[in-house]
Amino acid sequence: MRLTKQRKLILHILQHTVAHPTATEIYDEVRKKLPNISLGTVYRNLDVLSRQGYVRKIDTCGDQNRFDGVTDDHLHIICTSCGKVRDVEGEIDVCADNIANLASGFKVTGFRFEVLGACQDCQNTF
């Protein structure tokens, strides 16, 4: 894969935020440096970067996927009201070997575990 200036910028944005932005939010940031870029180009580059393992695509409970520049295994907490995503700090004992023992007939190649809840902003609206 060729790391074009668009891909480099998208990757830089994702690696320097903890917000887990949507493609539209990334597009808004990219346009500050590359004003002529299209939203379609951002989507295509995010797809390439996620398929190649440079970024992680997070399928949230909202309408849009969110993206993470941290690709090592870690947990997310997702607000079921607004869709905000944050990393869960600390260790939780979830092990692929333990899951493999429960997944009869499967070879486990990875796993996703997400915590759901209400973020601070949404809690204040109840």
- Average model confidence (pLDDT) across the chain: 86
- Residues 28-63 pLDDT 10s: 999 999 999 999 999 999 999 999 999 999 887 567
Provide the terminal-to-terminal Cα distance of the chain, rounded to the nearest Å. Answer: 47
Four-point Cα dihedral 60, 34, 17, 87, nearest 10: 10
CA-based nearest residue to 116, from 86, 83, 77: 77
| CB contact at 8 A, 5 and 61 | no
Query: 16: part of which helix (H) or strand (E)?
Result: none
pTM for the model stands at 0.78
pLDDT tier, 81 (very low <50, low <70, confident <90, very high otherwise): confident
CA 30 – CA 69 distance, rounded (Å): 15
